[in-house]
Structure 1
C-alpha cells in the first residue's frame, strides 16, 4: 500500500544540484589543503610507499618524544648541580672570616650555615621526575639517594674521635672514598646502570651522573666537615684555625672544579640532544614533503575543476529558476 512516506521521493521536487554541490565541497577542501580528499585515488590504490613514509614519521615522533624527555631530565640535573654549587659557595664565602683568630662563635656560625646547606644539598639531589630519582639512575623506589640523617650522625662521630686537624681531614677523606662509610651506610642501593633513553635504530642516550659521583661526594664531604667542626675532639685554637684556613679553601676550590666538570659533561650530552633534534627536524621535513607530494593535488587543476563545477551549479540554478516561473498552461502548449 502506498502512503505519503513512500510517495515522497516521487512527488517531491528533485534537488538537481546536490551532486554538484557535494563535488564542489570536496574540491574546495582539496584546494584549501592541497591534498586529494580520496587518498586511494591519489595513490592509484598503491599504498606501499605512503605506508613506509607514515611509519617513518611515527618512528620520528617516538624518537623526538624520547629526546624531549631526555632533555627535560638533563635540564633537571643541571639545575640541581647549579644549586649544589651555589649552596657550597654560600658556605665558602663565610669560611675565611670564621677561621680568623677569635672566639668559637664564628666557627659555630659557619657550622650552622653548613648544617643548613647539607639539608639543601640533600633536597637538590633528591629531586624526582615522573616518580624517578634523577640522581639515583631513575630509581622508582622512593628512597632518597642519600640518607642525610645517617650522614650527619656518622660525620659528627668522625669529628668527635679526631685528635687534630690532620686526623679529621684524613677521616673524612677515608669515609667518602670508594668503599668507605658513605657508600656502605649513607648512599642508597639505587640501580648501578645510568638512566638510558632509547632513541630507536640501535641508538640510545645515557645520563652520566648520580649521587655517588665524586663531584657530589666532595661537595657533601666539604659541607659535612665544616658542619662538624663544633663537635671536633680537639680545640679549635689558632693553630687549628690556621691549618683549616689553609686546607678548606683549597678543598672548596676542588669541589667547584669537580662540579663544573660534571656540568660540562652534562652539557656535552645536552649538545648531542640538540643535534639529534635538529637532525630529526630536517628528516621530518623531508618525509612530510614526500608525503604531501604523494597525495598532493595540483592547485591549478583543482581550481579549474572548482570553476567547472561552479559553472554547472549556476546553470542548474538558472534552469530551476526558469522552471519555477512556468505555469501549467506553458507545459501544455
Structure 2
C-alpha cells in the first residue's frame, strides 16, 4: 500500500486555506443569523430571481408614490391655507363694508385701510411658495403668479382714476380684471395649470388652482374696490361710501366661489390621503413577502454556525499541535 505524504510548506498552505474557508463561512453564517436573511440571495433562491426582481420593482414604484404624495399633501395643505386667508379677508370685511354710510368718515377710512391690507395679504398668500415652488402659478412654479401687492394696487388705482363716478371706476376695474390685456397681462406671471400627477397605480391627482381663476380674481377685485375708499381720486363721502358698497357686494358674491375652490382642494387632499393609506398597506405586504422570500431558517443557520466554529477551533488545535513538533518529539 502506497502512502502519500505532504511537505511542511504544502501542509501549512492547506491549513491556511481550510482556515480561511471556515472563517468566511462563519462570517456569512453570522450575518444570516443576525439579519435572518440569506447572504447569497441568488444561491438561496436557486437562481430564480424573477419574482424577487418583480417585488423590488413594485416597492421602488411605491416609494416614488410615497414621495409624490407627501409633496402633494404639503402643497395641498398650503393651498388650502392660502385660500383660507382670502376667505377670512372676504368674511371679515364684507358685512362691515355693506353697513357703513357716507357720514361715517372715520369708519370709511378705517375700512379702506383694512381692505388695502387685506388686498396685500391676499396677494402675498397667492404668491406663496413651498420649497421654491409657487403654489398658484400653474406650471410656471419657478416664479410667483402675481406682481407684488403694492405694484398691483398702484396699477388698479391708475386704471380707475379719472373715472367720472365711483360706478364708472368700478366698471373700469371690472373690465380690467376680465380683459385678457388687463389683469391677465399686466398682473399675471404664471402659466396654465399642470396636469395630473401619479399618486398610485392607475391613479392621478391634480392641484390645478391658479391665481388666474375667476373665483380668486373676484376676491381680489372686491378687496381692491375697498382699497379705493382711500386710494381713489374721488374723495367725496358719497363716492367713498359707494366704493365700500361695491366692495362689500363683490366680496359677498366671491365667497361662494372661494368655498368651491376650498372644496375642490379638500377633495384632492382626501384623494391623496386614501392613496397614501393604500400604498402604505401594499408596501407593507410586499415587504413581508420579500422578507419571507429571502429569509433563512434561524435554527438551521445557528446550527451550521456552531458547526463552523467547532471546525475552526479544531483547525486551531491541529495547527498548534503541528507547530510544536520537533525531531526530538518525533523520535520519542
The answer (yes or no) to whether the contact 1:162–1:232 under 8 Å persists in 2 is no
Q: How do 1:1-333 and structure 2 match up within 5 A?
A: 14-15=15-16, 17-88=19-90, 91=93, 95=97, 99-100=100-101, 102=103, 104-129=105-130, 131-140=132-141, 142=143, 144-146=145-147, 148=149, 149-155=151-157, 157-158=159-160, 160-164=162-166, 166-177=167-178, 181-188=182-189, 190-199=190-199, 203-230=203-230, 231=232, 233=234, 235-237=236-238, 241=241, 248-320=247-319, 328-333=327-332
The DSSP-based 3-state class of the residue aligned with 1:135 is: coil
Structure 1 gap ranges (5+): 1-6
In 2, Cα distance between equivalents of 1:313 and 1:173: 90
In 2, Cα distance between equivalents of 1:258 and 1:281: 35
In 2, Cα distance between equivalents of 1:9 and 1:130: 67
The DSSP-based 3-state class of the residue aligned with 2:209 is: coil
1:23 CA displacement: 0.9
The DSSP-based 3-state class of the residue aligned with 1:161 is: coil
Summarize deviations over 1:54-83 as a string: whole Å, max 9, x none: 222222222222222222322232232233
TM-score, scaled to structure 2: 0.80
The answer (yes or no) to whether the contact 1:24–1:310 under 8 Å persists in 2 is yes
Summarize deviations over 1:243-262 as a string: whole Å, max 9, x none: 66666445434434332331
1:30 CA displacement: 0.6
Summarize deviations over 1:169-191 as a string: whole Å, max 9, x none: 54444443475833354333x33
In 1, Cα distance between equivalents of 2:51 and 2:168: 73
In 2, Cα distance between equivalents of 1:77 and 1:44: 52
CA RMSD of aligned residues (A): 3.5
Structure 2 gap ranges (5+): 1-7
**Distance 1:169-1:194 versus aligned 2 partners, 3 A rule:** same
**Distance 1:287-1:265 versus aligned 2 partners, 3 A rule:** same
TM-score, scaled to structure 1: 0.80
Query: 33-42 or 228-237: which moved more?
Result: 228-237
In 2, Cα distance between equivalents of 1:167 and 1:9: 109
In 1, Cα distance between equivalents of 2:91 and 2:76: 23
The answer (yes or no) to whether the contact 2:95–2:248 under 8 Å persists in 1 is no
1:4 paired residue number: none
The answer (yes or no) to whether the contact 1:175–1:182 under 8 Å persists in 2 is yes
In 2, Cα distance between equivalents of 1:126 and 1:179: 20
